[in-house]
Amino acid sequence: MSGLPECQTLLLELHGGVLHITLNRPDSRNAMSLQMVSELRAVLAAVRDDRAVRALVLSGSGGHFCAGGDIKDMANARAEGAEAYRDLNRAFGALLEEAQHAPQVLICVLQGAVMGGGFGLACVSDVAMADHKAQFGLPETSLGLLPAQIAPFVVQRIGLTETRRLALTAARFDGHQARRLGVVHFVEQDAQALAERLDEVLQHVLRCAPEANAMTKQLLLASAGQPSTELLDEAAQWFSEAVTGAEGIEGTMAFMQKRKPGWAT
C-alpha cells in the first residue's frame, strides 16, 4: 500500500495486482463530495505509472455505488459565488477524464444508487457489472441543473439518442435496462453472483500484459474520439449559471426540503 494517499472517503485494498477502491460515505449513499473527488484523483495519479497495479475495481459501501453530486457541497459553494460552482463542477469532469484514461483496466461494480456522477463513473469504466435492482439515472434536470461534466461521457457510452431521452426526462432505470443500453456488460441477481463475475473478469484481465493493455486502451480511446477539455470547461460555466439561476436555486432547495420543485406537477 506504500505510495497510495491517505483517504477519508475511500477504502483502499491492494492485492494480487488489483486495487479495490470503495466509495465510503454510506450515510449519503456515497454522494460525490469535493473531498471524494480529490481523493479519487490522487489515487489515480498515484498508480498511473505503476504497471504492477493491473486493474482498478471501483464499488460503493452500504449497498450503493454513488447517488451523484453532494448537494451539501453545492450549498456551501453558494456562499462563494458562481466561480466556486464552476470549479466544483469542473473538478468532477477532470476526475472523469483521468478515470477514462487510467492505464489500468477500470471495473465498476454497481449496486443501489448509480445516479448523476455515479452514472458518469460507470460510463468511463472498461468493464461494468450491475445488480439487477441497481437504480441508474441522470436526475440533474429535475433539480433545475444540467449533467454538465457527465453528458459527453454518457453520449460516448450509449449514443446521443438514448442520452437525450434519459437526460431530458430524468428517467430512472434498472440493471437490465442498463445492460440493454450498453451502460453495463453484465447483470447479476445478487452480491454473491456479482463477486463471482468480478473474479471471472479479473482472471481474464490478469492474462493480459499490463503495458499492452495500457497502450491498447489508449489506442481504442483515440479511435473513438474523446469529450474535449474545451467542451467540459464550457459545460462547467453553464453548470455554474444554472445552479445560481432561479431554477437551480429552487431545485436544490426543494431537494433539501424533500418537496417537489415549483415546476413539477
Q: Which residues pair with 143 in a beta bridge?
A: none
- d(Cα 202, Cα 236) in Å, to the nearest integer? 35
CATH code of residue 31:
3.90.226.10
Q: C-alpha distances in angstroms, 80 versus 62, 65, 244, 251, 256?
A: 32, 29, 11, 19, 19
pLDDT tens by residue, 46-91: 999 999 999 999 999 999 999 998 877 777 777 787 888 888 899 9
Structural domain for 101, as ranges = 10-190
pLDDT tens by residue, 14-49? 999 999 999 999 999 999 999 999 999 999 999 999
CA dihedral of 192, 198, 201, 204, whole degrees rounded to 10: -100
Residue 90 maps to a domain: yes
Residues listed for the chain? 265
Cα–Cα distance for residue pair 80/34, rounded to 1 Å: 15
Match 454518457 to its residue by C-alpha cell: 154
For residue 235, give the nearest of 146, 122, 123, 140 by alpha carbon.
Answer: 146
pLDDT given for residue 228 in this prediction: 81
- Cβ neighbours of 256 (radius 10 Å): 12
Would you say residue 207 lies in a domain? no
Does a structural domain hold residue 70? yes
Whether 211 is in a domain gets the answer: no
Domain contains 210: no
User: Residue 144 — φ and ψ, nearest 5°?
Assistant: 80, 20
- pLDDT the model gives residue 231: 81
Is residue 257 a part of any domain in this protein? no
pLDDT for the residue numbered 229 = 85
Q: State how many domains the chain has.
A: 1
Q: Does residue 117 lie in a domain region?
A: yes
Which residue's entry shows cell 472523469? 96
Owner of C-alpha cell 444554472:
242
- The per-residue pLDDT for 2 is 53
What confidence tens digit (pLDDT) does each residue in 203-221 have?
999 999 999 999 999 989 9
Q: Evaluate whether residue 47 is within a structural domain.
A: yes
Q: Give pLDDT, residue 265.
A: 62
Name the region of 112 (left: φ>0; alpha: ψ -120 to 50; beta: rest). Answer: left
80: nearest Cα among 200, 244, 224: 244
